[in-house]
Amino acid sequence: MRRMFFKLAMALVFFAGSLAADVPGGRKSVEPCLSGFTIASAAGGNKWPALDLIGRQALADATDPLEAVLGFSVAQVPIVTAGLPLPPAASPEKPSLVPPDSAGQADMAAVISRLKEIFEKEGVPQKWVWIAEVESGFDPQAESPAGAAGLFQLMPATAERFGLNIAPYDDRLMPEKSASAAAQYLKHLRKEFGSWSLALAAYNAGEGRLKRIMNDYGARTFEDVSRYLPAETRDYVPRVLAIVAQREDQSSRLSGIPGAF
């Protein structure tokens, strides 16, 4: 078991490094890759404008599997591109996020598969494991100034709420335990708020804040609450949806390629 955990952690560290290699300044975060996505606010209202032509084309082949989970079209997500593309789609010539000649590619495929197994066991759609790419760049040792840590950037109170220890050793830094707690939390948020878009908003902004917004303004959908959310959360939800759509598209198209995600 300890050997398996070590391999899992090392594969994740390698993968996080491969993401950082393409990021200005070497930051272990995918945020710069998607920093061109911004919320488009309609003057005098909160209607969601469609993606521009580039965004539509980038997501065109990735939306169908996601529709059943989200309950709405990804093309309705209120984001526009500002000169920076989505992460490139994979192809047989470029099969995954990790370079084809990388020794860690097969290990990373196994990591993603294992994380998906954990999410499925907790009753959460497997595709939401890609939240870790937005949260930490798949760095299991990532820590934020606010106190969040691990693959899924769980705060101490949230981690303890779902059975993790913070001391003497921080379970949030253990990939499998972090994934299990994150999946349980997402399942709770989905049940509490009734949609995955609101669950994602609560995951980022905090369920207490989201409840207050919904109660104070009578808002019931992400479209309704988005105008009252912090800018970070308004950007976070479409960023996650775009990443999930892109990565799941890669996975489905490359499932027959050895070592691909």
Residues designated catalytic = 135
| Cα dist from 10 to 5, 97, 107, 184, whole Å | 9, 16, 9, 24
Which H or E run includes 4? helix 2-20
Which residue is associated with the tokens 């994150």?
A: 182
Reduced to 3 states (helix: H, G, I; strand: E, B; else coil), residue 260 is: coil
Contact 199, 225 (CB under 8 A): no
Count the Cβ atoms, other than its own, within 10 Å of residue 65. 15
In angstroms, rounded to a whole number, what is the distance separating the alpha carbons of residues 221 and 180? 27
For residue 131, give the nearest of 148, 107, 147 by alpha carbon. 148
